[in-house]
Structure 1
């Protein structure tokens, strides 16, 4: 589960790999597992552990420190109070009672509340504060809402390493210490979509915090390290921008085939008009893949059959999820079928109040779609093309 490895002179990766985890926060699918990265910085005078591990992996973390020969720990830097980062801090403090927990004042409050760490164990730091370990200088930079309010990152000045916590991370279990950009791009984008996308305006501000730093390496709290920092920083800059692509995301659910016929027709029509389509049968699809698709898409079309007068529960869940993730999508519409009536359109529209989208004319068919319904879908495809052209992306 874990083994220590040197990433720079006096700097060691001591975290653990969770190869088999498939669900995070009882919500986020993890098709590739994850890791709980922690780092030991050994200075000439003092030692600092940066982050810890999810509670079930605390023993493995301590074993890595023992293998490394650490018999004294002066500081535990807590970037973020969520338990996958901080949950093993009580076990670390029990093993190294002399250690102080270094964190923001807000993080201290959360750690006292969630982990019951006593007040005397903390040493809070302000933004841009530094801590010398003897030949190794840690600088702490506040990066709030990446993705909790108390979050900070740590910059190791002499080695030019940014310990970035969740910033620039990925849920990706691998034996490779450093990321291959060709492999990690999609897991990192998915991670951004599921965790960071609701905070993209703040992400842009926090990119400005780290931009002035001379960074040779980024060491996140999940996934492999980045030996090419510019790759992941520029990817974040693109994802967090307001630029959208000539793409339509179509999550759909169809009980008896009518809505699927409409989705097939609209998909073909959009492709014929030169518009990219990413469609997901939400009864069986990975919601993480859909979230990833929403990072760039200009338009979202929710396609649903009608159940008891409203949208299918899976479609309602997708609308709720999109509203929570708040992608930069500009346009939206609703298509689907019904048997005897209902309020599907109203329910979907009311479920997405946080999306800053223009809602285009819905297309609802009674039973199997007929000629008029297909004509309406053509008109919707034309309208989507027109809107994309106005943005200069089609």
Structure 2
């Protein structure tokens, strides 16, 4: 293993190492990156992984982010003369993996770029220079010699429409780009310490793969036909070697649960246009938090028959407005209009691509067809900020809650009456959780809170999966537990019990101070403690969050904590 720059700089470093015979990883380590992609926060930076395979022919699998241009190209030249590379395999064309394709093509003019049909089309717009290309589809093979025969696996929507996996039967290495990855930066090339990375692995899945659960299952079926996989060479984070079976099984379990959802929403977007893909991912993330399934579909390449079939079975439709100049995308929207049914829900949002179709005429057509709005139209008038992405996620959650409302009411009524009354006699205190990360802040009323440990001081909180604040309570996130006072909690309780529209300021009109961890403290609370999330345990409809306690203060020493008594135990 060779570390090529000073680790102590903790900014941009490079790492190389042999991961299999004739196979070298080139890892670009981005230690300080704290936001990524759909603007979800990163606690541990990220990596961009690239791979060099030396058979009789030489292949480079993916490149790196353009911020690593000089470092990456110098590292590559230290391993091989770039002009000797025969193939550049593009797993997908998102800039964090294809940011240096143009540079590689210039250094190796005779190189053949290998990718899916959609990927090659994207690259033509990116490179702006003639290049040799080879379009591959599922099952196609590329023989590099010396036993390295790459077989390609079609994996669209994981998480871009052009994604392919590459399997080297000679080394049993599967190159998967975004799938099975995570945003986690460390000197460890592999997944030795499972406990250190599993929270990041799950968070990455929830943000990027859960909205494409059906596509995940399709890709897994294709993988199963290829034979043993001893190493999963991911595009981000550590490579999977020590626990491959467990990681793959988790993807399978989580995706099956999503795919079995009784209700689903189709989220239409336009790849490579404005912020369509990122905004749609945020919408989808919010929907999946409610237990509603999501299918993502690219308007540019959607098959009309598939659009009709998918829309006809969906409970809701969300559409990122396409460019007016793209005939294929606008035709797909017309197909959606022809396929929808009354009583479905719909949500529209702008892509901020400079040529968006206007929202209002399309929204009027949906209303005239009897559809109801799952969320108010989102009009993006500037480069999306953290607040815009949070608004989109909350809008998706509102849509999911609307679709599941009747089912949830029915489930509440079905529980045994004596049991629900008995369970309801379990009392709890009244608390308000507040958190802030970057420009995003949120809050929720809570009663399922309990001290959980002495050394270190720690507590547990049950957080419903569809709560907006859940996104701010990932491992290593910080928050404040505000403890309400008996006889003096009604105003705060009434305020935070309100249903806030997506993106609304939950603290408007509330007196607050800022904690040392950056989260709001409610001035009128009896006491507060500052907390850091250490771990999370998943239940069917809640996350159990365990947090260590850093500091705290009581404002009135003789006052008592407010107590919450419920009549029934199957809903708040």
TM-score of the superposed pair, with normalisation by structure 1: 0.67
Deviation at 1:203, TM superposition (A): 1.2
Tell me, in whole angstroms, the C-alpha distance in 1 between the residues paired with 2:54 and 2:216: 31
Q: Deviations over 1:199-236 (max 9, x none)?
A: 11221222111123311111000011111320210121
Alpha-carbon distance in 2 for matches of 1:263, 1:33: 31
Give the direction of change, closer, same or farther, for the CA distance of 1:266–1:103 in structure 2 (3 Å limit): same
Partners of 1:267 and 1:287 in 2: CA distance: 17
For 1:263, the equivalent position in structure 2 comes to 445
Deviations 1:49-91 (A, max 9, x none): 0001011112222122111133411111001110001111111
Aligned residues: 301
In the alignment, the residues of structure 1 paired with residue 34 and residue 53 of structure 2 have an alpha-carbon distance, to the nearest angstrom, of 31
Select the residue among 70, 95, 100 that pairs with 2:107: 95
Is 1:51 the counterpart of 2:239? The answer is: no
Aligned residue number for residue 289 of structure 1 = 474
Shift of the alpha carbon at 1:277? 1.2
Contact 2:168/2:174, CA 8 A, preserved across alignment: yes
Query: Do the aligned partners of residues 23 and 276 (structure 1) sit closer, same or farther apart at CA in structure 2, a change above 3 Å counting?
Result: closer
| Cα distance, 1:231–1:283 mapped onto 2, change above 3 Å | closer
C-alpha distance in 2 between matches for 1:112 and 1:141: 22
Aligned equivalent of 1:313, options 503, 507, 510: 503
Q: Deviations over 1:354-382 (max 9, x none)?
A: xxx9xxxxxxxxxxxxxxxx88x7256x2
Kindly report which structure 2 residues correspond to 1:135-154, keeping only aligned pairs within 5 A, or say none. Answer: 135=146, 136-154=148-166
In structure 2, the residue corresponding to 1:38 is in which secondary structure? strand
- Cα 1:312/1:4, change in 2 over 3 Å: closer
Aligned residue for 2:566? 378
1:307 offset after TM fit, Å?
12
The answer to which of 84-93 and 307-316 deviates more is 307-316
Partner secondary structure for residue 378 of structure 1: coil
Question: Which residue matches 1:221?
Answer: 235
5+ residue gaps, structure 2, are: 1-12, 262-289, 292-396, 398-430, 436-441, 451-459, 478-492, 507-540, 542-562
Distance 1:198 1:286, change over 3 A: closer
The Cα of 1:6 is off from its aligned counterpart by: 0.7
* CA displacement, residues 331-357 of structure 1 (integer Å, 9 cap, x when unaligned): xxxxxxxxxxxxxxxxxxxxxxxxxx9
Q: How does 1:325-364 map to 2 (within 5 A)?
A: none
Preserved CA contact (<8 Å) 2:175 2:233:
yes
User: Residue 81 of structure 2: which of 64, 70, 75 is its match?
Assistant: 70
- Kept after mapping to 1: 8 A contact 2:433/2:446: no
Q: CA RMSD in A?
A: 3.8
Q: Which has the higher contact order (CA 8 A, sep 6+)?
A: 1
Change (3 A) 1:33 1:55: same
Provide the residue aligned with 2:207 in structure 1. 194
Q: Is 1:133 aligned to 2:133, yes or no?
A: no
Matched, 1:203 2:216: yes
CA distance in 2, matches of 1:203, 1:283: 26
Distance 2:162 2:106 in 1: 24
